[in-house]
């Protein structure tokens, strides 16, 4: 997303005690998801260089534990393909003009759906 929106989201997440990473493209986001174990993911459907469905599919393949923990942050969602992607993948959504809601949604995501424990070997 735009640098200013990324910065706002970073500060909002820090305000609720989250450690956050930012990515400037879908490719970079997928690389981060592969390398790091995140508790949640905020995603703009207008990812640069990768189709949104490829990012969502990649996240589900790489880190299935993030299913149900993806929050889509974007402008107007008038595009039917975007709406279908959100509905098909049960993604939570918040418009950019309501970013103050991100803290509550992320807090709820992390509280309601705790990450599965890694089995002991």
23-78, pLDDT tens digit by residue? Answer: 999 999 999 999 999 999 998 877 768 888 899 999 999 999 898 899 988 776 66
Residue 63: inside a domain: yes
Residue 27: inside a domain: yes
Structure tokens that stand for 69 in this block: 């923990």
Q: Are 70 and 33 in contact (CB under 8 A)?
A: no
Residue 120: inside a domain: no
Q: Which domain holds residue 42?
A: 3-110
The total domain count for the chain is 1
Name which residue leads in pLDDT, 24 or 113: 24
At residue 28, what are phi and psi to the nearest 5 degrees?
Answer: -65, -40
Structure tokens that stand for 84 in this block: 């279908």
Residue 117: inside a domain: no
Residue 26: inside a domain: yes
């Amino acid at each position: 997303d735009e640098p200013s929106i990324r910065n706002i989201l970073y500060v909002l997440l820090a305000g609720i005690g989250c450690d956050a990473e930012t990515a400037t493209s879908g490719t970079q986001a997928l690389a981060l998801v592969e390398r790091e174990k995140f508790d949640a993911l905020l995603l703009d459907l207008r990812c640069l260089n990768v189709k949104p469905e490829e990012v969502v599919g990649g996240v589900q393949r790489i880190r299935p534990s993030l299913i149900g923990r993806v929050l889509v942050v974007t402008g107007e969602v008038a595009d039917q393909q975007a709406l279908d992607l959100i509905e098909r993948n049960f993604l939570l959504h918040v418009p950019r003009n309501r970013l103050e809601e991100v803290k509550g949604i992320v807090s709820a995501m992390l509280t309601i759906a705790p990450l599965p424990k890694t089995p002991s070997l």
